[in-house]
């Protein structure tokens, strides 16, 4: 995998700050993400079970490697209260060399 394809930003939502902290701590301590940012106070509007729904949620932004994504999905699903949690990854196309090295040294 070329270096520009190996780093990802993972977006996950949670119903509460407490659950987001629990998930983020587990992902960091398990070396699945190098860092997770918890952003409270987002409004999500989505289509679910045949209708439009709206919820207050918390966004988790994790930085990791593509190779760790299956483990991230498994860990989040094991801790999350949602039936179908959002766990999506976007390519991280650029980053400072030192930051990317930190990801390489930390994420297993």
Residues 93, 4, 105, 76, CA torsion sign: positive
pLDDT tens per residue, range 50-59: 999 999 999 9
Q: What range defines the domain where residue 94 resides? A: 3-106
**In total, how many domains does the chain have?**
1
Q: Any idea what the CATH number is for the domain that residue 93 is in?
A: 3.30.70.120
Angstrom CA distances, 9 to 2, 17, 29, 44, 55, stand at 16, 19, 17, 19, 23
Model pTM score: 0.92
pLDDT tens per residue, range 36-82: 999 999 999 999 999 999 999 999 999 999 999 999 999 999 999 99
What is the secondary structure of 74-86 as a DSSP string?
Answer: HHHHHH-SSSS--
């Amino acid at each position: 995998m070329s270096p520009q394809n190996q780093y990802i930003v993972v977006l996950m939502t949670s119903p509460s700050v407490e659950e987001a902290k629990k998930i983020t701590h587990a992902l960091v301590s398990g070396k699945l993400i190098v860092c997770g940012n918890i952003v409270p106070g987002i409004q999500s509007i989505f289509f679910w079970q045949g209708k439009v729904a709206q919820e207050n949620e918390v966004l988790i932004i994790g930085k990791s490697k593509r190779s760790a994504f299956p483990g991230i999905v498994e860990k989040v699903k094991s801790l999350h209260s949602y039936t179908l949690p959002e766990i999506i990854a976007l390519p991280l196309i650029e980053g400072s060399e030192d930051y990317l090295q930190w990801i390489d040294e930390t994420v297993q």
